Amino acid sequence: NAGVTQTPKFRVLKTGQSMTLLCAQDMNHEYMYWYRQDPGMGLRLIHYSVGEGTTAKGEVPDGYNVSRLKKQNFLLGLESAAPSQTSVYFCASSYIQDTDTQYFGPGTRLTVL
Amino acid sequence: GENVEQHPSTLSVQEGDSAVIKCTYSDSASNYFPWYKQELGKRPQLIIDIRSNVGEKKDQRIAVTLNKTAKHFSLHITETQPEDSAVYFCAASWRGTGKLIFGQGTTLQVKP
């Protein structure tokens, strides 16, 4: 049981490049989330999903797209990376909405030059 | 919109002292309040949580208190140890949304 995993762990992009971050969980969780973490700003929710085939916007969705084609995977895409998207990205998942624990992945450190 | 304010942003204590971190939230419908600990370069880890029908919860050296009337909750760490040094985040969950809104974080330093 690996829990929540994220790939890649590190990535450097040039402005305007695109990439996809993959989050996978093997806990059969319905809910999955993407956060970004910036110094002094805590964790901010980008997008989330309440089940396979569904997605919803969080606090800071602009510049990102997501897809949840399979229950165990949640993909975060950057179509045209900007330096403001330099951050650490965390994926999380949970089983029961609202009151259950969110389990976090190890994070992806993204630098956009 | 939803908002969680966390104070202080940094906290330095001597080993063995107590540490208190406070958070306030904006939505009276919030009903779940977790605390996460994040060590340098690691993922956030849940250390304790409290639900809206409980006023206080303890787990060894850590405790959380909730005041729903005032819309604030606090983390208390007693007999602090150097390994308690980390960034601590509070969060509040909004009923029916599946979202956690996090505070800005508190960097706790425990000096030996």
Q: What is the mean pLDDT of residues B14-22?
A: 98
| Residue B85, number of CB atoms within 10 A of its CB | 19
Q: What is the mean pLDDT of residues B11-39?
A: 94
Would you say A64 and A55 are in contact if contact means Cβ atoms under 8 Å apart?
A: no
Beta bridge partners of B38: B87
| Rounded Cα gap, residues B76 and B55, in angstroms | 13
- pLDDT at B51 (0 to 100): 87
A47-51, B15-19, B27-31, B92-96: which range is least confident on average?
B92-96
Q: Give me the phi and psi of A84, to 5 degrees please.
A: -65, -10
Q: Is A45's CB within 8 Å of B34's CB?
A: no
> Quick one: closest CA in A to B52, which residue?
A99
Tell me which H or E stretch contains B63: strand B62-67
- pLDDT at A47 (0 to 100): 95
Would you say A7 and A21 are in contact if contact means Cβ atoms under 8 Å apart?
A: yes
pLDDT of residue A98 exceeding 70, the answer is: no
Q: Which residue has the higher pLDDT, B98 or B9?
A: B9
Q: Using 50, 70 and 90 to split pLDDT, how confident is the model at A99?
A: low
Would you say B99 and A58 are in contact if contact means Cβ atoms under 8 Å apart?
A: yes
CB-neighbour burial class of residue A83 (10 A; exposed 0-12, middle 13-18, buried 19+): exposed
Beta bridge partners of B90: B35
Would you say A92 and A107 are in contact if contact means Cβ atoms under 8 Å apart?
A: no
A68-72, A105-109, B1-5, B17-21: which range is least confident on average?
B1-5
Query: In Å, how far are A7, B49, B78 from B59, measured between CA atoms?
Result: 34, 10, 11
In this predicted model, what pLDDT tens digit does every residue of B42-90 receive, in sequence order?
999 999 999 877 899 999 999 999 999 999 999 999 999 999 999 999 9
- pLDDT at B53 (0 to 100): 79
Q: What is the mean pLDDT of residues B24-35?
A: 89
Residue in A6, A31, A49, A99 to test binding to B, most B beta-carbons within 10 Å = A99
Please give, rounded to a whole number of angstroms, the shortest distance from the CA of B54 to a CA of chain A: 13
B98 touches chain A (CB under 8 A): yes
Query: What integer best gives the mean pLDDT of chain A?
Result: 92
- pLDDT at B95 (0 to 100): 64
Q: Is A43's CB within 8 Å of B102's CB?
A: yes
pLDDT of residue B97 exceeding 80, the answer is: no
Query: Sign of torsion, CA B3 B26 B93 B70?
Result: positive
B112 touches chain A (CB under 8 A): no
- pLDDT at B3 (0 to 100): 87
Instruction: Let me know the angle formed at the C-alpha of A94 by A45 and B36, rounded to the nearest 5 degrees.
Output: 65
Structure tokens at B99: 């979202």
